[in-house]
Amino acid sequence: MASSERSAATGLGHHLIVALGGSETRIPFTPGPSVREILDATSLRVRSSCGGVGACGQCRIKIEHGEVTPPTATELCRLGQGEIGQGVRLACQVRPLQEVRLSMADPALSSNWRSLLEAEYLPEWSGTGFMRRQGESGYGVAVDLGTTQIRVSLLELSTGRRVAGRLGLNPQRVFGADVLSRLLAAADSAKRAEEIGGLAVTAIGEALADITAREGLDPKAIRQVAIVGNTPMLCLLTARNQDLLLMPDNWMREVDCPVGETNGWCAAWGVEPGIPVQVVQPLAGFVGSDLLAGVLATGLTQGPPGSLLIDFGTNSEMALWDGMTVWVTSAAGGPAFEGCGISCGMPAEPGAIYRACRLGEDSALEVSVLGGGTARGICGSGLVDMVAALLGAGELKQNGRFLAQGQGAGAAPLRLPQGITLNSQDIDALQRAKAAIGAGIQCLAAQSGLRVQDLRRVCVCGAFGRYLDIGNGQAIGLLPAIQAEGVELCGNTALAGCEMILVAARGSEVLEPIRKRCRILNLSVVQGFDDRFVENLYLRPIPMGN
């Protein structure tokens, strides 16, 4: 049963029922956001060109039934009592209070970019107390350039206020889902390298065009851009030194991603030529500036010793603060965390199964779908929930083998609602991904002189972490089995840290104190890593001893 039919397991108590073109879409929500904000998290969007303040009057909808907030002064001025009496409201002004049915006569055109909601950002990053720029006007753009997804946010430089954000797929995936395939493709020729980098530049421009058109902003008011990412993505963006990453000797060394002439980038983005564009330099070959931005945004070094950050992704990066040193490493988690590389996998976007559970001991496996409606696939957090549920029900062994009708190991795929399947290869992909993380945590702890049980704070970062069930993650050995209150689901800390860099008085120099405290651990040469990896393949809590 999908979340569009059941909300008890999701924590979302109501549904927005949207009638459009003879069909209905049910979208779960919790009261608080406006209709526009709720729709912005899905593929359905209202027209708008005023940033959601009601000035353009384009986001007209009709409330057919259900309780909503009273008309605002803006609506009374823009619509009048006549239209309001007929149920017409402005989506940016009206907030549903319970289940509401509405119709949309003229929705916005579909876009490859989904709006980021406030809940998807790390909250209150501006409270960390660093020196801010003074007297800045216009807007700044922060970019988190990921292997699978690209996130872009627009900030008001004078206040640091987020204006809008977008999320879309990285088009470089046509050259391979993994970084190695893209690096090999770029190594073919300088022309191919420029082509791959140009795909990311174009994508950022599309996101900015979507933001500025929808929010009614002039792209020429953008004054600066900051970009963070993992090292391969930054090398491919700048078309510099990507060949170095094909040599293992460089994986734990500094690899520069110098920015050349950026007027072509500026033209693609619709901004004034010559504005400052900073590509925040990575720490090493496979430890990117996205991890440094995450350490900054979470205030990891301001917390107690035994603070751990895990940025889940195709290349998962980790940082452990022992009170004096930030021990950092990366683990080849593979694409399972991003919903790729599994039979029915997809990123954490509308249509993805992101939660799964059993409401009773003998009940069927029930799933929750992002944005409601029909499930199109499974994202990483949904995969973790499914595995934990199967493990808890005794339908899956700790070694990852299915049980066939209680008669020993079986390889028959598990069939889920709406034609979704889960097979033994999917379980194996998750086992390998989480084993790399578990072994990496143990190695970092051992190197720092700490034990896994000494961890006091664990920051779970990335889109995967936003939806992760902590208990399920601990049960299968993905997260350390510490007290649940010590685990923080931080969302996209890389983007939040990039925003901080954008508005900091010293720009990316704000990262220098962190860089100086970092020590890089190359797991490929750590004695005992292979044994720890094998030990962590089992679906059980991470062993507390090092």
Q: Report pLDDT digits (tens) over 409-460.
A: 445 567 776 678 888 888 998 999 999 999 999 999 999 999 999 999 999 9
CATH of the domain at 58: 3.10.20.30
State whether 119 and 266 are in the same domain: yes
Residue 160 lies in a domain: yes
pLDDT of residue 113: 87
Q: What is the mean pLDDT of residues 105-122?
A: 74
Q: What is the mean pLDDT of residues 86-97?
A: 95
State whether 153 and 272 are in the same domain: yes
Residue 146 lies in a domain: yes
Q: What is the mean pLDDT of residues 190-211?
A: 95
Would you give the DSSP letter of residue 264?
H
Helix and strand element counts for the chain (H, E): 15, 24
Q: What is the mean pLDDT of residues 39-45?
A: 80
- Flag whether pLDDT at 8 surpasses 50: no
Residue 132 lies in a domain: yes
pLDDT of residue 115: 83
- Residue 127: pLDDT band with limits 50, 70, 90: very low
- Residue 405: pLDDT band with limits 50, 70, 90: very low
Distance CA 309, CA 59 (A): 41
Q: What is the mean pLDDT of residues 55-70?
A: 93
State whether 217 and 251 are in the same domain: yes
Would you give the DSSP letter of residue 137?
-
> In this structure, are residues 113 and 74 in contact, taking their beta carbons and an 8 Å threshold?
no
pLDDT of residue 112: 83
Q: How many alpha carbons fall within 13 Å on the CB side of residue 62?
A: 11
> Which of 14-23, 33-42, 341-350, 505-514 is the least confident region?
341-350
- Flag whether pLDDT at 196 surpasses 80: yes
State whether 74 and 133 are in the same domain: no
> Which of 40-49, 182-191, 246-255, 493-502 is the least confident region?
40-49
pLDDT of residue 269: 97
Residue 54 lies in a domain: yes
HEC profile of 203-244: HHHHHHHHHHHHHCCCHHHEEEEEEEECHHHHHHHHCCCHHH
Percent of the chain with pLDDT over 70: 89
- pTM for this entry: 0.83
- Residue 216: pLDDT band with limits 50, 70, 90: confident
Dump pLDDT digits (tens) for 308-334.
Answer: 999 987 778 999 999 999 999 988 766
Residue 142 lies in a domain: yes
Give me the number of domains the chain comprises.
2
Residue 265 lies in a domain: yes
**Helix residue ranges per DSSP H, 410-535:** 424-448, 463-467, 470-475, 493-503, 512-517, 529-535
> Which of 75, 106, 137 lies at the terminal end of a domain, its last residue?
106
> Which of 61, 87, 106 lies at the terminal end of a domain, its last residue?
106
Q: What is the mean pLDDT of residues 96-103?
A: 94
Dump pLDDT digits (tens) for 260-303.
Answer: 889 999 999 999 999 999 999 999 988 999 999 999 999 999 98
Comparing 485 with 2, the larger pLDDT belongs to 485
- Residue 370: pLDDT band with limits 50, 70, 90: confident
pLDDT of residue 70: 95
Residue 268 lies in a domain: yes
Q: What is the mean pLDDT of residues 152-166?
A: 90
Question: Which amino acid is residue 255, in one-letter code?
Answer: V
- Residue 10: pLDDT band with limits 50, 70, 90: very low
CATH of the domain at 270: 3.30.420.480
State whether 201 and 97 are in the same domain: no
> Which of 355-359, 441-445, 532-536 is the least confident region?
355-359
> Which of 290, 311, 330 lies at the terminal end of a domain, its last residue?
290
Distance CA 310, CA 263 (A): 36
State whether 59 and 206 are in the same domain: no
Residue 379 lies in a domain: no
204 lies in which domain range? 115-290
Neighbour count for residue 81 (Cβ, 10 Å) = 9
